[in-house]
Amino acid sequence: MITFKYYITTPLYYVNAKAHIGHAYTNIATDVLARWHRLKGEDVFFLTGTDEHGKKVETSAEKAKKDPQKFVDEISKKFKDVWKTLNISYGSFIRTTDSKHKKAVYEVLRRMQDRGDIYKGVYEGWYCTPCESYWTETQLKEDKCPSCGRSVEKLKEESYFFKLSKYQKPLLELYKNNPGFISPEHRKQEIINRVKEGLRDLSITRTSFDWGIKYPGDDKHIVYVWVDALTNYISALGFPDSNNYKKYWPADVHILGKEISWFHAVIWPAMLLSIGEKPPKKLFIHGWLTIDGKKMSKSVGNVIDPVEMSKKYSSDSLRYFLLREIPFGHDGDFSEKTLKEKINNELVADLGNLVNRTLTMTEKFKGKLEGKDELSKEFNLKKIEGFIDNYEFHHALDEIWNFIRAANRYINDKEPWKLEGKELANVLYNLLESLRIISILVSSFMPDTSIKMNKQLGVKTGSLKDCKFGKLSGKPKKGDLLFQKIKT
């Protein structure tokens, strides 16, 4: 049997502050995909990590009165702790301060130089430190950074340049020949339109700060943080000649937020074309979360801590909510009020209730649990798979919930409390088989819940091929309620 590989990545988060709900959103969505592909039996490489160089991190370390390396060590560890709380099943965590990463960056630069794609010049422009980006006068929006809206400062420095302009045509060809390269469609159009307007060569070194990878052969230059960070997607695999690199590259998908689409859709593939490596197969660009309708920011004081949320409501509830509430690829709003409503109306009333009712009746029943399939028509695995393959998590969950609701209706219709013997066995068999399958279907979204369900059902962890009737085994035993009703 051929085992397919699946290489999926998240962005590398800046370590200037701790992880917030926006970072959690990306990692949860990526985790769902990684887990889903494991359920399909694929060989998954799931990469996340931290972006640890640049002026922004250097300034944050200074403010904290810490040595930059010590500072990044601490924050990077905190990111790992958050991912543990949220059950993020990454297989590899790359830090841009890792020595294998630095080696890969040198190799990338060497190849770009060999190609004749790097030259020395002078850069003058408007610099946005939070975004670590230079902008031209015309790109500014009301004299502010067009990406984040914050103040910019004028800088002039000697710099090495990458001949990005040379790659305008090859990039447009890449987009044309690979229609699925950038999703969603409207994001792809934005990129194509901007690339058609023309590309300027990219300044790839800085001299205004120290904290970063030194440019080979010219120590006062530090490698631009984006050239450094983007290389993570191959350095983590051991680029250039490791077995992992050969096996997993090109990435099947990079998941990222909309504000960094330019770096991933233009600069990254141009770098790869320059060094003679394949571009990733796909970029999926998701939208931004607002908090109760407002932009999340430290100054407004509305930054949501995902760990606090998951301690309050469980990590599974948070995971479920984020993917059920917001169509992936669109902007969306995080509201604690809606989170509580979803927990009560969907997790407690539908799924929790179905498990509780079924296990309560099963515990009282002493006969053999057997019957004939009356419920499998209520779910369509192909449809669910199709939605997930299209990154439509909310539709996949809708479909799974239709099945859960159908099973609850089945109890109401059959009135098993009035039945006994074979008739009762048949109803219980159908419910237990449905729950076993539901547990598999929700496992990527809510891994803890699935484990708890399997324990109560007395079954082993299943995979997608077990999503059919006729596999019930083990001894069910009622446990604690899966979800607690929240006071609103």
Specify burial of residue 70 (Cβ count, 10 A radius: 0-12, 13-18, 19+).
Answer: exposed
Q: Which 286-345 residues touch ligand ME8, going by CB under 6 A?
A: 288-289, 296
Regarding 51 and contact with ligand ME8 (CB under 6 A), the answer is yes
Closest approach, Cβ 22 to ligand ME8, in A, equals 2
Helix, strand, coil abundance in the chain, percent, nearest 5: 50, 15, 35
Residue with CB nearest ligand ME8? 22
| Nearest-angstrom CA–CA distance, 85 and 81 | 6
Q: Which of 12, 339, 384, 424 binds ligand ME8 (CB under 6 A)?
A: 12
Scored b (16 or more CB within 10 A) or e, 237-256 reads bbbbeeeebeebbbbbbbbb
Asked if 22 is part of the footprint of ligand ME8 (rule: CB under 6 A), the reply reads: yes
Binding to ligand ME8 by residue 11, rule CB under 6 A? yes
Query: At its nearest, how many Å lie between ligand ME8 and the CB of residue 61?
Result: 15
Q: Which stretch binds ligand ME8 (CB under 6 A): 23-31, 32-40, 120-128, 302-310?
A: 23-31
CB 331 within 8 A of CB 286: no
| Smaller CB separation from ligand ME8, 206 or 436 | 206
* Alpha carbon distance 309, 315 (integer Å): 8
Which residue, 11 or 68, has its beta carbon nearer to ligand ME8? 11
Tokens of 278: 């394949």
Residue 234 as a binder of ligand ME8 (CB under 6 A): the answer is no
| Residue 185: exposure state from Cβ atoms within 10 A (0-12, 13-18, ≥19) | exposed
Stretch that binds ligand ME8, among 9-17, 32-40, 177-185, 208-216 (CB under 6 A): 9-17
26 makes contact with ligand ME8 (CB under 6 A): yes
Single out the segment in contact with ligand ME8 by CB under 6 A; choices: 22-30, 172-180, 300-308, 464-472: 22-30
User: Exposed, middle or buried: residue 278 (CB in 10 Å: 0-12, 13-18, 19+)?
Assistant: exposed
Q: Which is nearer to ligand ME8, 257 or 269 (by Cβ)?
A: 257
How far is residue 169 from each of residues 119, 281, 364, measured CA to CA in Å?
20, 18, 70
Q: Does 49 bind ligand ME8 (CB under 6 A)?
A: no
Let me know: does 379 contact 437? Beta carbons within 8 Å: yes
- Does 230 help bind ligand ME8 (rule: CB under 6 A)? yes
Least Å from the CB of residue 132 to ligand ME8: 8
Rounded to whole angstroms, the Cα distance separating 488 from 481 reads 19
x/- track of binding to ligand ME8 for residues 248-287 (CB under 6 A): --------xx-xx---------------------------
* Using rule CB under 6 A, residue 483 touches ligand ME8: no
Burial bucket for residue 194 (CB in 10 Å: 0-12, 13-18, 19+): middle
- Residue 96's φ and ψ, nearest 5 degrees, are -70, -5
- What token pair was written down for 346? 């969907």
Report the nearest approach of ligand ME8 to the CB of residue 35 (Å).
Answer: 18
Nearer to ligand ME8, 10 or 450 (CB): 10
Q: CB of 304: closest distance to ligand ME8 in angstroms?
A: 9
Among residues 223 and 441, whose Cβ is nearest to ligand ME8? Answer: 223
Residue with tokens 């120290």: 210
Residues that bind ligand ME8 (CB under 6 A): 11-14, 22-23, 25-26, 51, 229-230, 232, 256-257, 259-260, 288-289, 296
